[in-house]
Amino acid sequence: MTAAQVPIPQVFDSYAWLEDADVSVGASTPLARVFTQGETTTVISKHSRNGANLDILATYGSGLIGVVHGLVPVGATGLTIDISAGGALAGGVLQSKDGFDAVVVNASSTNFIWFKQDGTIEVVDDSTTPPSGVAVYIGAAITNGSSVTSIDLSGVVYIYGGIPYRETTDPTQPTDSPPSTWIGLTKTDDGTYLFDGTTYSPVVETTSETVVAHATDYAITESES
C-alpha cells in the first residue's frame, strides 16, 4: 500500500515528570534515589521516582513509536491471524514474549492491526485512524468473506539502530503528512526519502541510467561508471 493508504507514523508526546513520582526535595535532579539500610517511609517515593526515570530515559532517548523486533502478523485459520513474539517502543518498552494467537479480524476488509501500550491487540476495520491511547502499528490483514488473503506490512515503522524506517509502495515520493515531530526514512518504489518534520527529501534515487547521491550533489551515469 502507498503512504496515503496506511496509518501515518505515530509519535509519543505524553511525557512524564519526575516531580509527579517523587515528593522529596530536588525531585527533578537527574540522579537515581539511593536507599539506605533501615529506610521505610521514603521507599515508595524513591521506587516511583527511579521507575519514572527509566520511563523518561526511554522516551527522551528515542521519542519513537515503532517495532524493534518481531510482532509479525500472519494469516491463521479463517478470519483470524497470529502475531509473533516481539518488542516495540511506545513511550517505553512494550513487549509480548508469547505473541498472540487467533486474533479475530473482519471479513471483506483491510484490517489495520495495532499493538497497544496496555499490551493488547486492537484491530481497526477499514480505517487508518489509530485506536485511542498509545499504540504501535504492526501491519494490515486483507480479507475476503471467509479468510485472510494477504498480510501487508507497508507503513509499519521499524526502529533500526535508533532510526525509524518504513517501506511503502508509492511510485515516487510518499504523499502522506507525518507529524512535525517525526523524522525518519521511507523506502518507496523509486528510492528512499527522509522526512525532516516538514518535507520529504530524496536520500538516494535509483533509475536505470542514473544514480544520484544528493549528499554530495553529483551524478554518475552508466557510461561514466
Q: How confident is the model at residue 211 (pLDDT cuts 50, 70, 90)?
A: very low
Residues facing 219 on adjacent strands: 212
Does 5 share its domain with 60? yes
How many other CB atoms sit within 10 Å of the CB of residue 177? 13
Cβ–Cβ < 8 Å for 122, 116: yes
Last residue of a domain, one of 119, 145, 160: 160
Q: Is the pLDDT of residue 223 over 60?
A: no
Residue among 195, 197, 161, 188 at smallest CA distance from 61: 161
Q: Is the pLDDT of residue 157 over 80?
A: yes
d(CA 90, CA 217): 37
Does 167 share its domain with 73? no
Q: How confident is the model at residue 44 (pLDDT cuts 50, 70, 90)?
A: confident
In order of 3, 22, 120, 149, 212, the CA distances from 191 in angstroms are 14, 48, 35, 28, 10
Task: Read off the pLDDT of residues 14-28 as tens digits, 9 standing for 90 and up.
Answer: 766 666 766 554 444
Does 210 share its domain with 133? no
Q: What is the pLDDT of residue 85?
A: 93
Last residue of a domain, one of 160, 184, 208: 160
Q: What is the pLDDT of residue 47?
A: 80
Number of domains, the chain? 2
133: domain CATH number?
2.60.520
Task: Read off the pLDDT of residues 86-130 as tens digits, 9 standing for 90 and up.
Answer: 988 887 778 898 999 999 999 999 999 999 988 899 999 999 999
Q: How confident is the model at residue 35 (pLDDT cuts 50, 70, 90)?
A: confident
Region 131-156: mean pLDDT is 97
Does 39 share its domain with 92? yes
Take residue 41 and report the three cell numbers written for it: 517511609
Does 135 share its domain with 179? no
Q: How confident is the model at residue 136 (pLDDT cuts 50, 70, 90)?
A: very high
Is the pLDDT higher at 50 or at 207?
Answer: 50
Does 56 share its domain with 32? yes
Region 143-155: mean pLDDT is 98
Buried b (16+ CB within 10 A) or exposed e, 203-217: bebeeeeeebeeeee
Cβ–Cβ < 8 Å for 11, 63: yes
Q: What is the pLDDT of residue 42?
A: 77
Q: How many helices (H) and strands (E) does the chain have?
A: 2, 17
Domain residues for the domain of 174 are 161-221
Helix runs in the chain, H state only:
18-21, 43-62
Take residue 92 and report the three cell numbers written for it: 517505553
Does 127 share its domain with 148? yes
List phi, psi (to 5°) of 75: -65, 140
Residues in the chain: 225
Is the pLDDT higher at 50 or at 196?
Answer: 196
Does 36 share its domain with 81? yes
Q: How confident is the model at residue 205 (pLDDT cuts 50, 70, 90)?
A: low
Does 201 share its domain with 156? no
Q: How confident is the model at residue 41 (pLDDT cuts 50, 70, 90)?
A: confident
Instruction: Give me the percent of the chain exceeding a pLDDT of 70.
Output: 79
Does 128 share its domain with 86? yes
In the three-class reduction of DSSP (H, G, I as helix; E, B as strand; rest coil), residue 1 is classed as coil
Does 176 share its domain with 65? no
Q: How confident is the model at residue 218 (pLDDT cuts 50, 70, 90)?
A: very low
Between the CA atoms of 155, 158, 77 and 110, what dihedral angle is there, to the nearest 10 degrees?
Answer: -10
Does 44 share its domain with 128? yes
The label of the residue with cell 502499528 reads 137
Take residue 90 and report the three cell numbers written for it: 511506545
**Predicted TM-score (pTM) of this structure:** 0.75
d(CA 195, CA 201): 7
Mean residue pLDDT across the chain: 83
Q: Is the pLDDT of residue 51 over 60?
A: yes
Last residue of a domain, one of 143, 160, 177: 160
